[in-house]
Amino acid sequence: MWVTVAIHGLLLASVMASEQVPFGRQGLWKVELDSVWDLLGPFPIHAREHHLLSPAFPLNLSHPIDYNRSWPSSYADGGLVRWSQVTSSRHGDIEISFPHVRWKALRSTEGWAALQHHAVIRTTLTLHPPSNPGSVDRTPRIHVHLKQGSFFALRPQGVDHSSFIPVWYPGNIYDLERALPLLIDLPVFPSLTEPTKYEIFVSADYELRLFGDPLVHQKDIPVQKLSIQIDIQEVQQFLSFVHQPSQDIVPDFWGGYAFGYAMGIGIQSITKWWTATDIKLKIDNPSIRLRLLYQVRIAPSQMRVVPIVIEQTSPFRGELLEFEISLRAGEEYEILFASIPIKHQSLQIGERQAIKCSFFLAGSSPSAFMAKPPTTITSTQHPPIIALHGAGVDVLSQSFWSESLPNNKFSWLIVASGRTSWGLDWHGPSARDVWESLDALTTLLEKAVYGFSGSWGLARNTRVLMMGHSNGGQGTWYLSSRFPDRILGAIPAAAYIKSQAYVPLTMARSGHFIDPVLRSILESALTSDDNDLHISNLVDTPILAIHGGDDENVPVWHSREAFATLKSWSPSANISFREDPGQGHWYPNVLNNSEVQDFVDDVTYSSRISIPSQSFTLTVTAPQDCGSLHGWRINQVTIPGRFGRLQVTWVDDSKVIVEPSNILSFTVPQSHGPFEFSVESVSGKWEMRKPQPSMTSQPPGRIQSILSSPGPITIITSRKSSGNDHSAALRLAYVLQLYHRLDSEIIAEDEAHTRTAGTWPTGNIIFIGPPRSPFATDILGQRRTSARTINHDSTIHFGTRKFQKPGQALMFSHPHPTQNNSLMLFILYNDDSGLERAVRVFPFRTGVAVPDCVIVGAMMDTLGAAGIEGAGCVGQRLAVKRGHDLVSPLTRFSKRGP
């Protein structure tokens, strides 16, 4: 049972209003949501194109809406679609379909790509004032929880919309577990004497990966199911904050000791800037102590997980852990009391019971995974098995995944979370979560308090057997091919090759308008995710690929093609392919059968290290996200966005031929030096030197790299408590937490100005503001990239080009002010409409093609990627649209490496 009390609490009106029935407590604000929704669509898009198009496409919410008008769409007979209506249930559930569209005919030629589509729906939200208007001292805010919709916006009724710029809030399109609703401000203050009406618009986007093939249900018509719930929050005169127990991270206890030294408590601020400053147990207990890892500042409406360190000197047997957290807002202090239930495990040799382990991701964010110990003690240690779940599987609360894995008597089984049930497809922070989970377990097993024998421990930097299903199968290909020297063997099951191949991008709206060179530069941001391009790294790794012959979710050709691609690199590649005829995407014995068991036992018991082929090829796109192959490592590529390849051919034991392509530096194995070879900048010749840390960071190649932060992300705004900068910061903080459980702190630029080299935290930085912002001017004035600001006209320049048009915004990577291992992202905008476009493009999901730099403009709302006015890699290449001409240094883009 959860028992949480805040000194100053949260007051909410009733949960949901629909079918014109007002809800709310007597005397308070009441909210109602019309159950009849206007529906416009469908329009063809690709899987992530709604991040580029306006969520209201084809509408312009600054104009009146004509509900008698028709709109062109290639999906409809006659080429036009019109408005229709759909009704939501009392619980806010909405089903969207277009039965008049001949879907069967479309998919007969275009396949799955034809099923993906966009629609926009709208209805009316009415806010009724309190019966006693004199008691109102603040504007009410609303909680909105949109499940499986991409974006929503509010527009006031009865006002001139010519200057209206919609603020688009993110939905929980994956229906992620433990999601909190968004707490947002109304666009205009509601009347205190009569009802106030707002229109709510929702971008409804059918993605096959989310909603599946309708043929599975013996239907031709795709149906999108989403839901929306709206509450109203009334803020009283006193300050308030709440404990959000669904966000807590608490390890299990084993033998009275926490199986992990990290704990996290979710706290949401409601009205002011709260800072968690201290923690202490309600009753002193000599066996256990809690302390804050660091003080945590929480912006109004933001939720952060406060990191707490667990320290023990003896077993703790209590069923509850009761403590109080001190919070400060200016000169005011409050206390949050919490009582957290403890789950005690009693694991014995021979049992295969899962236990929750906790750790601090990047040394700062409380995180958790599940682990199962070996069932047998032996005289030697055995390598662990890492299992990667499929999309939508919450391993912290669901046990079926770990129970479906092959049994192994000798190895630890690590069931990583990947941050959330979807994560980032096991890339970026999800990949980091895997390796740090392994490190955390290794550290824990070194502690004598658990009473483990030597064979239950793990060696540092041990090699692993990697396996996974569906998205986890794709993750197995990804992690194995990027870190081949850490992999003893791999079992990818029901895996797709890459996002672009899962559902092709052929129906993209932007494809009909985009310059081919711009498209190639944008899609270079996806290259580092392409498993097929990196599969050369696995020719010497034992692999057992598995797929159901009638997989309705991930077609079996994906595994066949991965098998064929690897065999193309080396006919003798150590890969087997098991295709189970008649089986679908998931079946109980997909990973629990004798062939898999034999493979697992052979790899984990023998722990054989693969012998290098006489000739092999190391392929890398993003060196910072990759490891070595047979000790050879690519440190830097010449042109980010293009892959680099290192072909190694042994002539004899003392002579090797190395052929690099698009490589600036690489390292040879330690057994041969170690030495680093790099291109001398003046002569262009190779030189050999001892490995040394890089003094300058290379552009990451894509903006999504900002998610791979070595600590909490700092979001800097040009205004602290109001304005669109702050709204954008809160929305970014929300998606970081929702989709990836990534922590972020919001600060104002005046505070950022006071930070020096020793006071910046280790995490990445996002700056949001206009070009004239003092912080942006100071950092860009250091001329570490080609971006600069000009004070007299308050515009930003890239080289000789100036960007000052209305609706424009620029996003680009930049070196961190003081730290080589961290990154910075600038979001600079000319007006609020430009800011909204930039926030939509922020790539918090895979498949959003955003390289190091993008310049967005008004045309993006209707043309998608074709409306992007510039894209490139900062400091390396920059393609800029000027009218219908694309200016790009193609010689740099197509130049081969040394």
Measured between alpha carbons, how far is 101 from 721 in angstroms, rounded to an integer?
Answer: 48
Q: Which two tokens stand for residue 304?
A: 């952060």
Q: How many Cα atoms are found within 13 Å in the side-chain-facing hemisphere of 369? A: 28
Say if CB 77 and CB 100 are below 8 A apart. yes
* Angle 279-284-286 from CA coordinates, rounded to 5°: 115
Q: Which two tokens stand for residue 2?
A: 């959860």
Q: Which two tokens stand for residue 810?
A: 């620029």
For 91, the 3-state DSSP assignment is coil
At the topology level of CATH, where does 703-894 sit? Chitobiase; domain 2 (3.30.379)
Alpha carbon distances (Å) from 409 to 254, 348, 399: 20, 13, 19
Q: Which residues contact 209 (CB under 8 A, 6 or more apart)?
A: 47, 391, 502, 503
Determine which helix (DSSP H) or strand (DSSP E) holds 297, and give its type and residue range.
strand 296-298
Say if CB 213 and CB 112 are below 8 A apart. yes
Measured between alpha carbons, how far is 33 from 38 in angstroms, rounded to an integer?
Answer: 13
pLDDT at 464: 97
Question: Residue 247 region, left (φ>0) first, then alpha (ψ -120 to 50), else beta?
Answer: alpha
pLDDT at 638: 87
pLDDT at 161: 87
Alpha carbon distances (Å) from 890 to 698, 762, 883: 20, 36, 18
Measured between alpha carbons, how far is 874 from 411 in angstroms, rounded to an integer?
Answer: 45
What are the tens digits of pLDDT across the range 477-523? 999 999 999 999 999 999 999 999 999 999 999 999 999 999 999 99
Say if CB 412 and CB 372 are below 8 A apart. yes
Q: pTM here?
A: 0.93
Please name the amino acid found at residue 737.
Answer: Q
Say if CB 578 and CB 597 are below 8 A apart. no
Measured between alpha carbons, how far is 581 from 587 in angstroms, rounded to an integer?
Answer: 12
pLDDT at 410: 87
Measured between alpha carbons, how far is 634 from 534 in angstroms, rounded to an integer?
Answer: 13
Phi, psi of 455 (to 5 degrees): -70, -15
Q: Which residues contact 654 (CB under 8 A, 6 or more apart)?
A: none
pLDDT at 6: 34
Q: Which residues contact 78 (CB under 8 A, 6 or more apart)?
A: none
Say if CB 249 and CB 276 are below 8 A apart. no
Measured between alpha carbons, how far is 380 from 624 in angstroms, rounded to an integer?
Answer: 34
**361 has which bridge partners?**
365
In the chain, domain spans: 11-234, 347-606, 615-637+641-689, 703-894
pLDDT at 878: 44
Strand (E) positions, 45-83?
A: 70-72, 80-82
Contacts 24+ apart (CB under 8 A), 601-604: 601/408, 603/383, 603/465, 603/488, 603/489, 603/542, 604/382, 604/383, 604/385, 604/408, 604/410, 604/411, 604/465, 604/488
Say if CB 851 and CB 879 are below 8 A apart. no
What are the tens digits of pLDDT across the range 75-111? 999 999 999 999 999 999 999 999 999 999 999 999 9
What are the tens digits of pLDDT across the range 748-762? 999 998 887 778 889
CATH number attached to the domain at 347-606: 3.40.50.1820
pLDDT at 802: 84
Q: How many Cα atoms are found within 13 Å in the side-chain-facing hemisphere of 190? A: 29
Q: Which residues contact 509 (CB under 8 A, 6 or more apart)?
A: 43, 44, 45, 49, 53, 863, 864
Phi, psi of 816 (to 5 degrees): -60, 145
Measured between alpha carbons, how far is 672 from 753 in angstroms, rounded to an integer?
Answer: 47
Q: Are strands 385-388 and 413-415 parallel, antiparallel or unpaired?
A: parallel
Which stretches in the chain have pLDDT values below 70? 1-27, 134-138, 234-239, 349-350, 448, 451-455, 607-609, 672-673, 680-682, 692-698, 719-723, 791-793, 874-898
Question: Residue 864 region, left (φ>0) first, then alpha (ψ -120 to 50), else beta?
Answer: left
